[in-house]
Amino acid sequence: MYALLCSLPGTPVLYYGDEIGMGDNVYLGDRDSVPHADAVERRSQRRLLGGEPATALPPAIIDPEYSYESVNVAANSTTPTRCSGGFGAGRAAPPQSVFAHGTIEILSPDNHRVLAFLRRDEDRQVLVVANLSRYAQYVELDLHEFRGAHPVE
């Protein structure tokens, strides 16, 4: 979803923790649901804030899959399947100008579970195809204008 968000026109909004896949405590209101920074561990909070962590900050996420103990920068750097792979500098990305200043042309595949569009600027065109289903989808796109082109993934 982040790749799709960053490929659409406009300014993408990412909250801190999104880049490493941290969860939110959605049962808390407004901005109290944001994830805790992994740099501030519970021990440090107790020492720095002079009290029990539960009273110093909103309750931490207790779901083991998304807690700060299992989702943090250190864990992301050693686990290639983690979310931050899409944000890291090691990944090749299309030039920023296509997404920052390029035009968008929405394609209309017959399969409504697939969103497809072209982003273009003076030098490049990027085809974005997003499967919005939880299952693999079949899609046919009319790309006759690109006959003879050599796509790069």
d(CA 64, CA 69): 8
76 and 22 housed in the same domain: yes
- The answer to the question of residue 1 being in a domain is no
- The answer to the question of residue 104 being in a domain is yes
Domains identified in the chain, total number? 2
pLDDT digits (tens, 9 = 90+) for 100-118: 889 999 999 999 999 999 9
- The answer to the question of residue 136 being in a domain is yes
Residue pair 67/60 in contact (Cβ under 8 Å)? The answer is yes
Domain region containing 122:
94-146
26 and 62 housed in the same domain: yes
In this prediction the pTM is: 0.61
Which residues does 5 contact at the CB level (< 8 Å), separation at least 6?
12, 14
101 and 69 housed in the same domain: no
44 and 71 housed in the same domain: yes
The reported pLDDT for the residue numbered 136 is 97
Token output for 73: 């920068």
DSSP structure class, residue 38:
T
Segments in the chain below pLDDT 50:
38-40, 54, 82, 84-86, 89-92
The reported pLDDT for the residue numbered 32 is 58
54 and 79 housed in the same domain: yes
81 and 133 housed in the same domain: no
Type of residue found at 149: A
